[in-house]
Amino acid sequence: ASIVTAMMLLIGPLVGSLSDRKGWRKPIFMGSVIIGILASLALGIPKWWLIFLIIYIISRIAYNASIVVYDSMLNDVTTHDRMDGLSSRAFAVGYIGSCIPFIFCLVFVVFSDMMSESAPLTFSTAFVLGIIVTAVWWFLFSLPLFKNYDQVCYNEEEHVRIRGKWAIFVETLGEIKKNPALLFFILAFFFYIDGVYTVMELSASYGAALDLDSVGLLGALLMTQIVAFPSTLLMNRLAGRIGSHKVIYICIGGYMFIALFSLILDSLVQFFFLAFMVGLFQGAIQALSRSYFGRMVPKDKTGEMFGILDIFGKGATIIGTLAVSAMTLISGEVRYIGLVLFVMFVIGLLFFIRSTRIQNYDVVITE
C-alpha cells in the first residue's frame, strides 16, 4: 500500500492535468478502469509472490488514477447547487454496493474453510472466485459512465502541453496559494481526512490488537458500510438546510468523539458501537468534502486540482500511519492512537473554520 501511495503522489497531478484536456477525461478514465480490471483478474494467476505484488500494485495504481478522474467529473455532470446531493448519493450507493461483492467473497471463503481438503472449493479457488466477482462488478457498474458521460469542462488550450509532474505540482500550488480559502481547505482536508483514512485502514488491526473476535470484527466493519448508506443521504439533506460547511463541522466533531472513545474501547460491543459511529460520519465527510472542493476550483482545471487534493489525501495516509506507529512504539499501548487521531481532527477543524471564514461559507468564488 505504501508503494502505491508513493507512486500516486508522483503520477496523480499528471493524470489530473491530462484529464483537463478537451476530450481526454473519458479515455483516461476508461483506460484506468480497464487496466485495473485486467490486473485484478490477473491476481489469480501467479504463484510467485513477487509477480503477485507487481500485479497488485498495477491494479491499485489504475484504480487510484480512475478515482482522481472520476472525482473531477463532478463539475461535468451537475451544477454547483446540486453538487452536494449528487456527491452524497454517489458515495451512499457506493457504500451499500460495495457490501454485495464483499458478502460474496466472504461466503466463498467461509464455505472453503468448512469443506474438506479434497473438496473442489479450496481457499485458492475461493480467492479466485472473489477476484472474478469483484472485477465483474467493477466493469458492470463502470459501463453507465463509459456510455453516457461527456466532458463539459476542459482546458481551452488548443495544443496540449505535456508538463513534467513536478512542474504541474508547483504551478498548481502557486494558483492555490493565491486563493487563501482554497489553501486553508486543502490544509484542513490533509489533517481531518488523515484521521478518517487512518480509522478506515487500522480499524480491523486495532480490534485484533485488543484480542476481539475476528468474525465479530468483520461483522462490525460490514455494519459500517451499511450504516454509511442512509447516514450519507440524511447528512446531505441536513446540508441542504444548514449548509455543507456546518455538516462537515459536525462530521469532524463526530470523529473527535470516536477518537476519544477508542481510548476506553475494550469489548466487541463497544467496537460495534464505534463502527456504527464511524458509519454515521464516514460517507458524509468524504462526499461533502468532494463537492465543497469541487465548487471552489476553476471548472477548466478540476482534474489538476483533484490531482493535488489526491496528493494531500494520499500523503495524509502515510503520515497518519507513521504517527500512529510512532505513538504505539513509544507508549507500548495501541489504544493511545486515539490521541493522535484527536489531534489530527482538531487541527483539521481549525484550518477548516479559517477557510470558511475567508470564503464567507458556501459562496462560490470561481467559475
Give residue for cell 472513545. 261
**Amino acid identity, residue 214?**
S
Lowest mean pLDDT among 75-79, 105-109, 174-178, 311-315: 311-315
- The string of pLDDT tens digits covering residues 35-69 is 999 999 998 887 788 898 899 999 999 998 999 99
Mean pLDDT, rounded, for 300-322: 78
DSSP symbol at 263: G
- C-alpha 177/C-alpha 2 separation (Å) is 28
What is the b/e burial string over 125-149, where b = at least 16 CB atoms within 10 angstroms of the residue's CB? ebbbbbbbbbbebbbeebeebeeeb
Q: Are 272 and 223 in contact (CB under 8 A)?
A: yes
Give residue for cell 477557510. 355
Lowest mean pLDDT among 129-138, 239-248, 293-302: 293-302
**Amino acid identity, residue 98?**
S
The residues facing 155 across adjacent strands are 21
Lowest mean pLDDT among 74-78, 213-217, 308-312: 213-217
- Rounded to the nearest 10 degrees, how much is the dihedral formed by the CA atoms of 191, 185, 299, 288? 70
Predicted confidence (pLDDT) at residue 228 exceeds the cutoff of 60: yes
Q: Which phi-psi region, left, alpha or beta, contains residue 360 (left: φ > 0; alpha: ψ -120 to 50)?
A: left
pLDDT of residue 311: 78
pLDDT above 70: percentage of residues in the chain: 88
* 190 sits in which H/E element: helix 180-209
Tally DSSP H helices, then E strands, for the chain: 14, 0
For residue 57, how many other CB atoms are within 10 A of its CB?
15
Q: Which residues, 6 or more positions from 133, have their beta carbon under 8 angstroms from its beta carbon?
A: 101, 104, 105
What is the b/e burial string over 180-190, where b = at least 16 CB atoms within 10 angstroms of the residue's CB? ebbbbbbbbbb
pLDDT of residue 2: 62
- C-alpha 233/C-alpha 79 separation (Å) is 18
Residue, of 219 and 356, whose pLDDT is higher: 356
Q: Are 129 and 137 in contact (CB under 8 A)?
A: no
Give residue for cell 481526512. 193
- The string of pLDDT tens digits covering residues 134-192 is 999 999 999 999 999 998 888 776 444 555 555 666 777 788 888 899 999 999 999 99
pLDDT of residue 254: 96
**Amino acid identity, residue 154?**
Y
Which domains are assigned to the chain?
A: 2-151+165-359 (1.20.1250.20)
pLDDT band at residue 214 using 50, 70 and 90 as cut-offs:
low
Predicted confidence (pLDDT) at residue 335 exceeds the cutoff of 50: yes
Q: CA 217 → CA 92, 203, 206, 209, 271, distances in Å?
A: 22, 9, 10, 11, 8
Mean pLDDT, rounded, for 246-260: 95
Predicted confidence (pLDDT) at residue 280 exceeds the cutoff of 60: yes
